[in-house]
Amino acid sequence: MDFFHYKNGKLFCEDKGIAEIAELIGTPFYIYSHATLTHHYRVFSDAFKDKAKIICYAAKANSNIAILRVLASLGAGADIVSGGELFRSLEAGIPASKIVYSGVGKTPTEIEYALQADILMFNVESLQELDAINTIAGSMGKVARVAMRVNPDVDPQTHPKISTGLKENKFGVDIKEAPAYYQRAQQLDNVEIVGISCHIGSQLTKIAPFVDALKRIKALMEKLEGWGIDIKYLDLGGGLGITYKDEEPPSPASYAREILSVIDSSKTTLIFEPGRVLVGNAGVLVTRVLYTKENHGKKFVVVDAGMNDLIRPSFYESYHKIQPVYVGTGKTVVADVVGPICETGDYLARQREIADVQQGDLLAVMSSGAYGFTMSSNYNSRGRAAEVLVAGKKAHLIRKREKYQDLIKLERIPKQIV
């Protein structure tokens, strides 16, 4: 579901013509729909209506502070994986009491920052991290709330680069060792055990892996409760997939139904960390055709957005629909849509039937709201794209396009070498 649609042959984001924005600010840019974002948050939240829950939006999917602010205003918390994301979340007005901190490599500085901010809890991923948190909290005269991030060893049946819950993955602690970790945590003075967390992967299109993981977690939870450890928060991570092409991921409602059939939610507060499912279809990358060409009978459409803007196709072999901003003749061609970067892997689509676009035409790379801008870089010294948030008829620039000066602003030429 999204609010990108054609009106008189022109692509609109809500009530705003996309071409109009391109004329104003140039290309490429990301454009997000406020109504779509809001809709997806509400659908997710309503799926767990009347249940004690915190929806901790996974900030890494799209961490623009305007997006974070919209979600904060709807009641969202945040799942963060760095000090930078904590900073952004706080700047955007997400209450620290709704922030959970995941990630295998939290630095001492980041741990201290999170303790200072008094976040809800740390999802701890190793014994050494647990000790580090205990020591740092002790030195600050604080007690850190922790959950162990457990690796339930289930196959999420998704792309290998986004699987996290298999025993060979770096994430979490082995579910078999988890009880020992909890015992260790019980002995520490400066940590308080408050939960269990797990996140098994991203872009899951089947419900069974979620349920399998939950059943294993539930068994662990019962064991811990038998030892008198009170699990206040059960954090089930994110991972719900979206439709990029023809996937049929479970709806939040059916996901909720399955989860609630396994777990008695009256005793613990459920935490969810959805990222992609909230923002993925709320964003589009708009790019202009620079040139069209043919090599050995193979057609190429060269556009002004590259893998530095949207890395998903080359990194995950992901599929993004590519639609014309003006419908045109309706004629199509099969072509590779490629960017300007000096890498063969720099493409947005391969051997794709797309509208027969000409030099100067605009294309919309659909479903780019998650892991689009946040994974972008300055590779080839390209300034990162602008970002626009549309609500109804109004378009707001929420991030300026980077200029040449921005590329070098942190760099220095040492006097001694010149």
Ligand X SMILES: *Cc1c(COP(=O)(O)O)cnc(C)c1O
Instruction: Please report how close the Cβ of residue 171 comes to ligand X at its closest, in angstroms.
Output: 8
Closest CB 308 distance from ligand X, rounded Å: 21
| CB of 60 or CB of 382, closer to ligand X | 60
Q: Is 342 among the catalytic positions? A: yes
Dist CA 71 CA 80 (whole Å):
14
Distance in Å, CB of 311 to ligand X, minimum: 15
Of residues 31 and 58, the one with the C-beta less far from ligand X: 58
Which candidate in 13, 56, 198, 342 is catalytic? 342
Q: 104 is written with which tokens?
A: 């295998």
Side chain identity at 346, as an amino acid letter?
D
Buried b (16+ CB within 10 A) or exposed e, 152-191: bbbebebeeebbbbbeeeebbbebeebeebbeebeebebb
Instruction: Please state the closest distance from residue 205 (CB atom) to ligand X, in A.
Output: 11
Q: What is the per-residue burial (b if ≥16 Cβ within 10 Å, else e) of 295-313?
A: eeeebebbbbbbbbbbbbb
By C-beta, is 89 or 202 nearer to ligand X?
Answer: 202
Residue (21 or 175) nearer to ligand X, CB: 175
- Calpha distance 76→325 (Å, rounded): 33
Token pair, residue 48, equals: 């767990």
Specify the residue, 76 or 277, whose C-beta has the smaller distance to ligand X: 277
> How many Å apart are CA 108 and CA 122, to the nearest integer?
13
Q: Which residues bind ligand X (CB under 6 A)?
A: 58, 60-61, 79, 81, 102, 199, 202, 237-240, 273-277, 370
Least distance between ligand X and beta carbon 175 (Å): 16
Q: What letter would DSSP give residue 215?
A: H
* Active site residue ranges: 342
